[in-house]
């Protein structure tokens, strides 16, 4: 049974088991909602292990430099925090390319589960967007938000012209507001109309949704309909530990031709 908290629709009964997210039949009418939260999909202990696996995999900054041919390797870590003076503007991203044999199995399993789940809630065939022959392919990145780090203004898809993608970003929540971090986090708002110009004031009041989220929750947003922003995490503190504080995973879609250009093993 769905319930509403502001613009957020909340659903129960979905669980990740043996590499699959199982649950009741999804109501197609909910595809008209800008954001849907699926409660308790992942076990928190499992997510803690996944987090350790992600942040420890090829952790060195040099592991994602480009080769002589200008192509990146199958994994890269984005980290602009070496200069602490700039920390308020950046987070850390851990990006995987999933045809890489070195990618940890649990990371692969979550990837496939999330893409298939995204297909289900969006009304596509179960195994769509998993192969390099598909027009678009699901990709997954993990993000750590250190204390004081990363202010993101309202953002949404920049592919607005004729854009009709549904639930094009699906996020796994790893952390708990009030326990793992005390201040900052994600805000959402419903866009009033679609336009080719960035209109920061053309939306409903921003709604702070971190109190609604628990570790293991998954939320799906339709970016063209949902403004979202992230305010700095614990801006008055100074901790930096990827195993502590706000951490998420984000599954989204990119044109397959663009991803092929990035990876050596796509050829």
- Parallel, antiparallel, or unpaired for β 92-96 and 75-79? antiparallel
DSSP state of 146: -
Residues near 92 by beta carbon (within 8 Å), at least 6 away in sequence: 77, 78, 79, 81, 143, 144, 146, 242
- Express as a percent the part of the chain with pLDDT over 90: 44
CA distance 182 to 184: 7
Q: What is the mean pLDDT of residues 14-22?
A: 96
pLDDT of residue 57: 78
pTM of the entire structure? Answer: 0.85
* Among 227, 185, 181, CA closest to 203: 227
pLDDT digits (tens, 9 = 90+) for 36-51: 999 999 999 999 999 9
Q: What is the mean pLDDT of residues 3-22?
A: 96
pLDDT digits (tens, 9 = 90+) for 166-215: 888 899 999 999 999 999 999 998 887 665 555 656 788 899 999 999 99
Q: Which residue has the higher pLDDT, 181 or 230?
A: 181
Which range, of 13-27, 74-88, 107-121, 221-235, averages the lowest pLDDT?
74-88
CATH of domain 3-266: 2.60.120.620
């Amino acid at each position: 049974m769905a319930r509403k908290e502001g613009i957020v629709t909340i659903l129960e009964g979905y669980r990740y088991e043996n590499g699959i997210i199982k649950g009741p039949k999804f109501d197609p009418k909910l595809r008209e909602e800008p954001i849907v939260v699926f409660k308790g999909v992942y076990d928190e202990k499992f997510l803690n292990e996944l987090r350790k696996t992600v942040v420890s995999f090829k952790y060195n900054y040099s592991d994602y430099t480009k080769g002589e041919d200008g192509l990146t390797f199958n994994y890269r870590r984005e980290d602009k925090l070496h200069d602490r003076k700039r920390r308020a503007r950046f987070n850390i991203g851990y990006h995987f390319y999933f045809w890489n044999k070195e990618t940890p199995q649990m990371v692969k399993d979550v990837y496939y589960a999330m893409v298939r789940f995204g297909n289900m809630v969006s009304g596509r065939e179960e195994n769509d967007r998993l192969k390099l022959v598909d027009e678009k392919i699901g990709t997954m990145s993990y993000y750590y938000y250190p204390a004081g780090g990363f202010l993101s203004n309202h953002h949404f898809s920049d592919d607005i012209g004729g854009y009709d993608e549904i639930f094009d970003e699906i996020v796994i929540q790893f952390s708990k507001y009030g326990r793992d971090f005390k201040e900052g986090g994600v805000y959402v708002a419903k866009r009033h109309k679609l336009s080719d110009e960035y209109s920061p004031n053309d939306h409903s009041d921003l709604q702070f949704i971190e109190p609604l989220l628990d570790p293991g929750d998954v939320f799906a947003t339709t970016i063209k309909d949902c403004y979202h922003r992230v305010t700095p995490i614990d801006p008055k503190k100074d901790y930096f530990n990827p195993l502590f504080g706000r951490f998420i995973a984000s599954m989204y879609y990119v044109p397959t031709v663009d991803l092929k250009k990035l990876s050596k093993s796509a050829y």
